[in-house]
Amino acid sequence: MPSSLPGDQDFESIPSLKNKALRINLNKNIYGTFAEIGAGQETVRHFFRSGGASGTIAKAMSAYDKDFSDAVYGIQDDGRYVTEARLQRMLEYETELIEDRLSREKHPEKMFFTYANTVATIDFAKNI
């Protein structure tokens, strides 16, 4: 990450996860969506807990259930969830939503982002 971004505010610079999230949250120009499926929903939690997330997070989406994830993002041809193709679909879908729903005229300085992840877990039967 560059040492300075447009809109950054000064604060104590300790390279912890909390302070990295806080740096982004304090930047008035960064605004976007977190989309996480499976066990991936931990990332956005760091942004909420660090403070100032209301100016950064437009939406946090966690489709933990496979059926719900399929309803939102569609079914992958291979039927898998933790794949690059699934991640690409999530990024495309969420980026399109934020660009469609938020006016560039109202937010000319905003750097819209979409962060997506998908993480597999082991179920109770110890199968992946």
For the cut 80, the answer to whether the pLDDT of residue 4 exceeds it is: no
Split at pLDDT 50, 70, 90, the class of 126 is low
- Specify the CATH number for 17-119; select among 3.90.950.20, 1.10.287.3510, 3.40.1410.10, 1.10.287.1040: 3.90.950.20
Is the pLDDT at 29 greater than 60, yes or no? yes
Helix axes 84-101, 66-73, angle to 10 degrees: 60
Mean predicted confidence (pLDDT) in 63-73: 90
pLDDT at 13: 55
More confident residue, 128 or 70: 70
Q: Percentage of residues in the chain with pLDDT exceeding 90?
A: 59
Per-residue confidence at 63, pLDDT binned at 50, 70, 90? confident
Q: What is the pLDDT of residue 11?
A: 65
Residue 122 confidence (pLDDT) = 75
Inform me whether the pLDDT recorded for 35 exceeds 90: yes
